[in-house]
Amino acid sequence: DEIIATINDILVEEFEVDRAVIVPEADFRESLGLDSLDYVDLVVLIEQEFGVKLVEADFKPIVTFNDFYTTLENKVNAR
């Protein structure tokens, strides 16, 4: 839950995403509307915040916010 709250805060504060669109079953890419540079920024922020590095392959299976949270939680727990 702490990871989810932190990620949501990053999305709202850094990318000006409306908190109302950040729901677990929402489409991750469609809801965020980020471009490729935004994804690079997101990866950097995640690395700074959680000490894990996400690579392009990590994003391929991500469809929903829940998928994103699960991917990040698995990375954090694997460190």
- The residues annotated with a catalytic role in the active site are 35
Sort 79 into a burial class: Cβ within 10 Å, 0-12 / 13-18 / 19+: exposed
Q: 35-69: string of b/e by CB count within 10 Å (b at 16+)? A: eeeeeeebbebbeeebebebeeebbeebebbeebb
